Chain A
Amino acid sequence: MKNNRVAVIGAGMTRFVRRANESSGELASQAVQMALQDAGLTIDDIDCVCLGTAPDAFDGIHMNGENLIAGSGGRHKPYMRHYVGGGTGVMSPIHGWMHVASGKFRTCLVVCEEKMSPCNPHPAGAFLTIFDHTTEQPLELTLIHIFSIEMCRFMHTYGYTEEEIAQISVLCKKNAMDHPAAQIAQQITVKDVMSSPVLSWPVKRLDISPTSDAAVAIVLANETVARNHCKAPVFIEGVGYRLDTAYWCTRDLAFPNYVAMAARDAYEMAGITQPADQIDIWEPYDPFDYKALHHMNALLLDKGGRRTKELLHSGAFERSGSHPLCPSGGALGVGNPIAATGLMKIAELYFQLSGQAGKRQVNKNALRGVAQAWGDLMQVGTVVVMSSEGGMPRTTPWSQKKAEDLPGTALKSFDEVPHFKYEPDLRYAWDNGQALTTYLDGLKKGHIRGSKCPKCNRMMIPVRQFCEICNLQAVNDVYDLPDSGTVQTFTLSNVNWDSSPLPDGKVNIFAVIAIDGATEEMGLIHKLSEVKPKDVKIGMRVKAVWKPEAERTGNILDIQYFKPVSDKGQSDIRPRQIKPVELDAISAQPFKGRIPMKYIYTAGQGGGRFYKDLFEGKLSGTYCKACDAVHMPPTSFCEVSMTRLDPEKDARVVNPKSGVVAAFTVVHEDRSGHQLNEPKVVVQVEFPEAFGSVFGKLEVKDGDVIEVGMPVELVKLSKGAGAEQITFRSRA
C-alpha cells in the first residue's frame, strides 16, 4: 500500500484567557500565523483547512465554522469543520489526518478555536440545552451535575477518595506553571482543593478547569513534505474515535467503554499491544480532575482500574516519573477552551516528541505519546497516538516561548473595549413522534413507560420505536413499568443550571435511578427529596412522588421527585403491556422549548478600531502590504496572505463622506421574519481608497433616488452602538 503517513510539522497557539479582546476569527488567525511560521510555510503552501470548534452556543454564532473561515486561512480553500462536542479537539488532527492520508491533499492546516466568554452570564448555561429537550431539559440540568454524578459513580466503583482525585488538580496546575499559554497555573495543595467551595458534591471549585478563550493550530503534511520542511516531524501513528448512545442514563458511568474502544482502534493502527509499556507521554482529557483518572483506566485498557491507582500513588504521573500525565498542565492548568484544549494536547505531544518542550520536557527519551479528548453526554472518546524518531531536547523558538511571546489579549471586563449585547430568540416546538408521545402519555397517567426490543429483549426507557443496538429493529411493545427504582449515582448540588448559586442551605439532589422492570442499568435522571443530603446512598430504593392527576400534563415534571422507600428490592409488580398512543391532532402536540442564551461580543482589534473611529464620525481601513491595498473594514489580519496587520499602526484614514452604493436591497421583514410596517433599505457601500465595503442601513429622505452608484456618507455613531445602528445617508 502507498505510504500515507502524516506528520505534524508546526504548531501555534494564543494565550488561554478567561475573556479575550480578540474576536473569534482574530484568535484563530493568530494561532494560524504562528503555526505557519513554525512550519516554515505560507498560506499558499496549504492545500486544505480543517476546523474544530465545539458548541456554537459558546462563541454565540450559528454555523460558527463559516464565520471562522477567514481567520482560519480557509478563504478560497477546501475548508471543512468537524464536531464531536468536547471531543472535537482531538478529532481535529484525526479529520486532518484523513485529508492527507487519503492522498487527496499534501498539507492540511488544522485549527481549533473556542471563545466561551461571549456566553453570559456564564458559559455553563450553554449546557442546559445539551440534554434531551423533552425528557431531561425540564429538570434544569447542567454539565456540572452530570460530571458530579459520574464522579460519584467513579469513586464508588473504584474506591477513590476526593483527596486522591485532588492530586490530579494539584499536578496539572503545577505543570502548567511552565506553559506559556497557561491561564490558571499555580502551586496548590490537596488541602486547597478540598477546602474550595463545593459546587455540586463531590465536585469542588478546584476540581474543575476554567472556561477560556483561545485558539490553537497545527500544520499536517504527508511524509515527503514533512521531511523537506521539518527537522523532527512527529507522525500520527494511530487514530480512534467512538460515540456511544445518547441515552446516557442507560449505561454504567464508572468506566468509559467508548474511550477504551477508541484507544484500542488507535493502538491497533499504531501496533501497540501493551500501552502501559509502549507509551511514554499521556495527555488524557482533564476538564475535571477525576476525568484524567477515569480516562487513564480506559487508555490503559484497565477496566479493573488497578494500574492507574498504582501509578497515581507511586508518583509516576509527575513529569519526572515513568508515566508523565498532562505534562502540558492540561485543561486544569492551561485552561479549557474546549476544542482548543484538545489540540493544545496534540501540540504538547508534538513539542515533547520533537524535543521542543523546554522547561516542560519530560525526563525520559520520549518516543511515543497519546492524547485523548472526551465529550457530549459522557459519550465520545477521541484518541491519537503520535511518535517521533527520537527528538533530543533542543533549543527552538517553541522551547523558549514565554507568556509575553504569545498573542491573545486578556480583558478584566468587557467595559474596557467596545462590545455588543445580543439575545437570539431561539424557540422550538419539538415533534415527539410516536415513541415519546406514548412515554409522555404514560407520565400523564402516572406511569413510567418502557418498550421492549424483540431481538435483545431489553426493556428500554424512555420508549423508543427502534432498537439502537439491534440494526434498528422495530420496537412495538410498550409497557407500564413500576414507578420505583434504585439510585445508581447522585450529586448534591449547590448551583443552578446557569452556574448561579442556590439560596443558602438549599441543595438539589439529582440522581440516576434504575427503574424497576427495565433492563439493568436502564435509568432516568430525576430529583430526590424527602431525604437529608447526607443520607443519600448509591443503592438506595426510591419511588416516584407524582403531581395530582389533574395537574399532570405529560411532562417529566409530572413526577415531582423520587423519595426513599424501605422495600427490599425490585417490587414484584409485573410490567403491564399497553397499546401505543394513536397519534392524532390532539395527542401529537409538540413540546415547546428554547435555547435561553445571552451574549456579549467584544469588537475585537479590527472591530474595535472601526467603532472607535465611528463614534467620532471617522473611518479608517487597514493597509496590507501583501495586497498593497487598504482593507475595509479594519482588520488585524489579511485573510488573503494570512499576515498580521495592526489596525492601529497600519490604519489609513478613509473619508466617511466618500461612500458609493455598490448594491442595495429593500427589506420587508425584521430579523425574526415579521413584516415591517415601513420597509428598510440595506446598502453595501464602497469607498474609493479602500478594498472592501461597509454594510448598513440607508436613511431615506423624500426625493432620494436609491440606485447603484448613489453617493452616500457614513453617519457618526453614538457610543455603545453596534452593527444594527450603522447608517448611511445621501450626499446629494
Chain B
Amino acid sequence: MGVVVLGVGYCGSFPTSSGLSYRELIARAASMAYQDAGINPEQIDGAVTVEEDFISGYSIADEYTPDQIGMVRKPIYTVPGDFLQGIGSAVMQIKTGRFKTVVVASFSKASNVLTKDEVVGFAYDPIFNRLGVTPHYLAGIEMQHFLSGSSFTAVDVAEFSAKSRNSALCNPLAPYASRVNVSDVLGARSVASPVTELMMARPADAAVVVVLGTDDEVMDTARKPVYVTGTGWASGNSIIERRDHGISAGTALAAKMAYAEANIENPEAEIDVAYVCDIYAHRALMHMEALGLSCDMLPFVNPDGGAQAGGDLFEATSGARFFDAVRQLRGEAGVHQIEGAERALVHGWRGVPTDTCAVVILEGEGR
C-alpha cells in the first residue's frame, strides 16, 4: 500500500496578517487543500496538527486545533514537532490499515508573538543553557564549528542567503525576497557572530494543510497525486554540551531512514529538487552535507527561496517547502519550476537549540 498526497493548501506567508485570526488563516489553507483533493473534511478519517504551545500562545494549544480544519470529534492529535514529523506520523497511521485518509495541518502566527526570542530562549535547558543572551547564540557557535570543520567559508554562507532572497523575487509567496548581495549579507548587523541578520530567516505567518491517503482507495478523487515514498526523522543529542555542532546528526540519520524506504542509493543523482531547512543560512549547507548533496546540487535547492525568503514559520517552516515540492512535481510551480522534476526531497529542522530533523521523499505520477 502506498501513501499519496491528495491535496495541498497554503495561506501565506505574510510578515503580519492582522485581517485574519489564526483560525481564519488555517481555515483558508484547509479549504484550499480539501478543494485540491476533491474531498470534504467529513470524509476524512483523522488529522495530525503540528504546533507548539508557546508559539501558538496557549498553555494547551491542541485544544484549538479541530475546528478550523473541519475535524471536530474526529481522531486527531498534535505532534509538537517539525511539520514533516507530522507527515511521518500520518503516514504510519495510514499504514496501520485503520485509516484511509489523514489531514496534516500546521501554522505560524508569529506576528501574534510579541516576544519571540523569549519563547525560543525558553526552549534552552534551564539548568545549564539559559545564558541571559540572545537564543541565537547557539547558531553562532554552530556556524563557527561548521566552517572550521568543512571547506565552506562565511562567503559561501552569505552567497546562499543572497541567492535565496534574490531568486525568490519571482515567487509571490515569499515576502522577504529582496535584492541583496554577498557583501550586504556579510555586512549586515551581527546578531551572534559570525551569524548576521541577513543569514537568519525572519518570522512570518502562514498556514499549510496537506491531505494524505492510500493510493488504492482515493486515487480517483485526487487531481494530481504525488507519492510519499520515504519518511525519516531523528534527533541529535539534546545535551548541547556533548553534541558535535559541526554536523547535523539528526539530518544524516533521518536521511538514511528515508533513503532506505525510497530505495535511494545515490541521492544527488536520484533527486531532482531538494528543499533544505535554512532558518540560518549555514544550516542549509550543513544539512546538504548531511543529506549527501554536494554544491553541484545548489541550483536545485530551495527554488522557492526557502525560509530565507519565505520566512521562519516555526513548526510549519518545512510545510511551506512541502507545498512547493508538491507543486514542482505536478509541474505547477510557475516561474521557479524545475523542468522535469520527478523526485523531491523535503527536509526540516526544528531550530535552535535542537538537532531534530526530518526528511520526506516525494515522487510525481511518472515514477
Contacts and interface: CB of A to CB of B under 8 A. Distances in A.
Contact of B59 (A127, A243, A246, A672): A127
A724 B125 CA distance: 12
A409 to B, nearest CB: 16
Contacts, number: 397
A629 to B, nearest CB: 10
Nearest to A424: B122
10 contacts: A102-B92, A104-B92, A130-B59, A434-B24, A435-B24, A472-B31, A472-B34, A472-B68, A673-B116, A722-B127
Interface stretch (A501-509, A528-536, A598-606, A646-654): A598-606
Interface string B66-100: 11111111111111110001001101110111100
Given A246-B63, A425-B118, A724-B130, A593 B123 contact: no
A240 B89 contact: no
A537 to B, nearest CB: 29
Interface string B220-240: 000000000000111111111
Contacts of B263: none
Given A63-B350, A604-B127, A431 B22 contact: yes
Contact of A68 (B34, B122, B238): B238
A700 interface: no
B112 interface: yes
Contacts of A684: 141, 241, 245
A129 B56 CA distance: 11
A701 interface: no
A406 interface: no
A104 B74 CA distance: 24
A427 B76 contact: no
B317 to A, nearest CB: 14
B214 interface: no
Nearest to B65: A243
A198 interface: no
A474 to B, nearest CB: 8
A428 B113 contact: yes
Contacts of A429: 112, 114
Contacts of A127: 59
Nearest to A611: B127
Given A4-B96, A422-B126, 12 more contacts: A61-B122, A62-B53, A76-B249, A78-B253, A78-B257, A80-B85, A102-B93, A242-B75, A465-B24, A663-B144, A667-B140, A723-B128
A62 B120 contact: yes
A85 interface: yes
Interface residues of A, number: 133
Nearest to A49: B235
B73 A428 contact: no
A83 B52 CA distance: 10
A666 interface: yes
Interface string B111-147: 1111111111111011111111111110111001100
B169 interface: no
A456 interface: no
Contacts of A85: 60, 62-63
Given A377-B63, A422-B130, A695 B241 contact: yes
A75 B134 contact: no
Contacts of A659: none
Contacts of A102: 91-93, 95-96
Nearest to A473: B70
A570 B121 CA distance: 52
A236 to B, nearest CB: 11
Nearest to A685: B241
Interface of A: 1, 4, 23, 25, 54-57, 60-63, 65-70, 74-85, 91, 95, 97-99, 101-104, 118, 126-130, 132-133, 240-247, 257-258, 261-262, 265, 269, 375-377, 379-380, 420, 422, 424-436, 464-466, 468-469, 471-472, 583, 588, 590, 593, 595, 599, 601, 603-604, 607, 610, 631-633, 635, 639, 662-673, 676, 679-680, 682, 684, 691-697, 708, 722-724, 726
Contacts of B93: 98, 102
A693 B242 contact: yes
B191 A668 contact: yes
Contact of A420 (B40, B126, B240): B126
Interface string B9-42: 0000000111111111101001100100000111
A590 B18 contact: yes
A379 B63 contact: yes
Which of A104, A269, A694 gathers the greatest number of chain B CB atoms within 10 Å?
A: A104
Contacts of B152: none
Interface size range on B against A: 35 or more
A586 B176 CA distance: 26
B21 A663 contact: no
A246 B53 contact: no
Chain A to chain B: the 8 pairs with minimum beta-carbon distance, closest first = A665-B140, A433-B21, A69-B238, A673-B117, A102-B95, A468-B67, A669-B134, A102-B92
B341 interface: no
Contact of B21 (A76, A435, A472, A692): A435
Nearest to B25: A433
A99 to B, nearest CB: 6
A471 B85 CA distance: 26
Contacts of A67: 123, 125, 238
Contact of B235 (A23, A77, A103, A465): A77
B98 to A, nearest CB: 7
Contacts of A25: 238
Given A83-B62, A692-B241, A66 B19 contact: no
A129 B59 contact: yes
Contact of A693 (B34, B73, B112, B241): B241
B153 interface: no
A692 B54 contact: no
Interface string B194-238: 110000000000000000000000000000000000001111111
Contacts of B66: 243-246, 468
B299 interface: no
Contacts of A130: 58-60, 63
B236 A55 contact: no
A424 B356 CA distance: 24
B134 A673 contact: yes
Contacts of B85: 80
A696 B131 contact: yes
B192 interface: yes
A560 B78 CA distance: 36
Given A80-B88, A466-B27, A664-B141, A723 B239 contact: no
Nearest to B51: A83
Interface string B228-269: 000011111111111001000100011001000000000000
